[in-house]
Structure 1
Amino acid sequence: MSYLKRLLTRRSPAKPVCADIPRRNVRFSLDEQTPRYWYRGWPHVTRFFDGLSIMFPLGEKLFIDSVVHFRKAIENDSALAEAVDAFVYQEASHIREHRSYNQQLAAQGAPIDALEQLLLRRQEVGNKFSPAMRLAMTASLEHFTAILSDQLLRNPAVLKGADGKMAMLWRWHAIEETEHKAVAYDVLGVVVSNPLRRYLMRCGVMLIMTGYFAIDVMYFIYRLAGNDGQLRNGREWLRLLGWLFVSPGPLTRVFPRWLAWFIPGFHPNRLDTHEALEAARQTLDEYAGRTP
């Protein structure tokens, strides 16, 4: 608990600062020259990232819809309204680039359509909940992606040995997830004004979303590995588990920040990401300056 308290005593603006949510137009132009197993030649770790990419276009469209639904509710808060617009721009850019990424996976024979149908069935269930509950789902998943993104940015070992273009795509995505990490949370604060109701809602939703997210990611890796003929490759399954939980261990390392979500008074901007974010932005600017 003392570690969590130290995390949450780091102060950042309680409201979104729109200057910190830039609108970039970075394109990665993936093609057949990208290695099939672009992460050190490791099939299952590569497919971990690939599975996330398959989730993003539909998932981030859902995020946009859930936030934009409440645009009128925040129209009197010009800073938050501008942050929402920047959030939508960044998420739309992610959809565009990950669709291109997924087209490359489809060209390898990956079952993109079947996996997206699973996501659509999940969303059909989610659509039965109230708009406020769907916004809470978005805020929860945005926290989850933000803490994973922070780990990717602050721990160089996470992308060590990866193909250069693919590593930069994931850094770019992580940068922007970090930049807009508080937007859905702040909109939820306007929409659900009762603090206790909001706290219980976001905590319950986080537990459910984490379970579904973990199950879906592992199922996607399973399906992609099966498509590669790698289901019985025990060494790669062990390598994946070691990579996820031991070294570099991104899922183990994000746990304290995931747990911070459940502390009353939590706000995403109170988790300090400034130093890692600024260093990553500089790297991205250099990359974008070299890219025609």
Structure 2
Amino acid sequence: MSNKARALPVPRASEHTPLHARNVSFDWAGTPLHWLPGDPSTTHTINVLHLLLPAGERWFVHVYRQALPYIRDDALRADVIGFIGQEAIHSQAHDAVLPRLRELGLDPTPYTAQVDWMFEKLLGDRTLPPGRARRWWLLERVALIAAIEHYTAFLGEWVLGAEELDRRGADPVMMDLLRWHGAEEVEHRSVAFDLFMHLDGGYRRRVRTWAAAFAALFFTWQRGVRFFMENDPTLPNGKATFKEYVRGGREGVLPTFGAIARTVPQYLDRRYHPSQYGDTQQALDYLATSPAALAAEQRTAGRPARPEQHGES
């Protein structure tokens, strides 16, 4: 038996659910700059999501559309198509926060321009000849997405249980955005890894791309927090500090470093499968009560049927 065959984990079938995009929208008119009252450091640490995700998830969609022709399993193809739909909505939802930040005096354009460059140029399509080189670059990016999705699922699970944010009066609209998105990350957490295993599954590629993804996330996130703190118009001497992050983790308003550290051996274990971590039912329970998700369902239910649905041409 080959090393690759031995490395194939068995997913938990009970954690699989059919995926569909929920076309949510949020009203940001009443959301304050510091949506976690009295805690700009935690607010801006989480706000980095709005800087990274629009470009990052557009990139996910672009790469996965290129991968679709190589998928030989109908069930996985359906999962990937559902994943693409959800990620496209995620990108739009976080992008819609940025105009509100500008209204409140914090223009994120200098930072988002750098993020756009990273995903569109550094990680974008390259002029490569058809064949092995082009496929290698596609597989590298598919593996990178699998590693990144390990962390988006971790964050999704964390925010679903982060009750301290509610106790401290976090803005309910922002919390619904974060938990709706987090729930969908938990819901589709296996898709990126399953696609990677289907197209390649090489353990060395998994380790190499995990290291690149982890380093990139750490670098871009801490730079994003620094950008927010230094440009917040209400903080004349705003600075991002390690001490503040540790404090947030200790108080339950941010993930702890210990929790983040435990994600490393999880992903690098040859027996790893994302379905082994997280709780799909917890995610679905939140989605069943999310104000934005419920409103999206009501809009969909009230939409007139298209002519072709009644057999008209």
Under TM normalisation by the shorter chain, which class is it? 0.7 to 0.9
Is structure 2 residue 255 aligned with structure 1 residue 247?
no
Change (3 A) 1:10 1:42: farther
Q: What's the TM-score, normalizing by structure 2?
A: 0.79
2:20 aligned residue (22, 32, 46):
22
Number of residue pairs matched by the alignment: 275
Identity %: 22
Change (3 A) 1:113 1:219: same
Deviation sequence 1:217-247 (CA, Å, 0-9, x none) = 111111111111536357987444311x322
Q: CA deviation at 1:71?
A: 0.4
Distance 2:53 2:105 in 1: 19
Change (3 A) 1:17 1:121: same
Deviation sequence 1:159-215 (CA, Å, 0-9, x none) = 5421111111110010111111111111111211xx5xx211111211221122112
**Structure 1 regions of 5+ residues with no counterpart?**
1-8
Is structure 2 residue 83 aligned with structure 1 residue 83?
no
Q: CA deviation at 1:108?
A: 2.5
Deviation sequence 1:101-145 (CA, Å, 0-9, x none) = 111112223232211221133232223571110111111111111
Which residue of the partner structure matches residue 148 of structure 1? 155
Paired residue type of 1:149: G
Q: What's the TM-score, normalizing by structure 1?
A: 0.84
Distance 1:80 1:234 in 2: 45
Q: CA deviation at 1:42?
A: 1.4
Q: CA deviation at 1:281?
A: 2.5
Q: Which of the pair has more CA radius of gyration?
A: 2
Change (3 A) 1:78 1:92: same
Task: Please show how residues 1-292 of structure 1 align to structure 2 within 5 Å.
Answer: 12-13=12-13, 17-19=16-18, 21-31=19-29, 33-74=30-71, 76-123=72-119, 124-127=121-124, 130-160=137-167, 161-192=169-200, 195=201, 198-229=202-233, 230=235, 232-233=237-238, 238-243=243-248, 245-248=249-252, 249-252=254-257, 253-284=259-290, 288=294
**Structure 2 regions of 5+ residues with no counterpart?**
1-8, 127-135, 300-313
Q: Does the Cα contact within 8 Å between 2:83 and 2:188 map onto a contact in 1?
A: yes
Decide which moves more: 224-233 or 144-153: 224-233
Q: Does the Cα contact within 8 Å between 2:25 and 2:292 map onto a contact in 1?
A: no
Change (3 A) 1:137 1:231: farther
Paired residue type of 1:150: E
Deviation sequence 1:263-283 (CA, Å, 0-9, x none) = 002111121423532432333
Deviation sequence 1:11-66 (CA, Å, 0-9, x none) = 6229x8452x23212211222x2111111231121111211111111000111112
Distance 1:159 1:215 in 2: 29
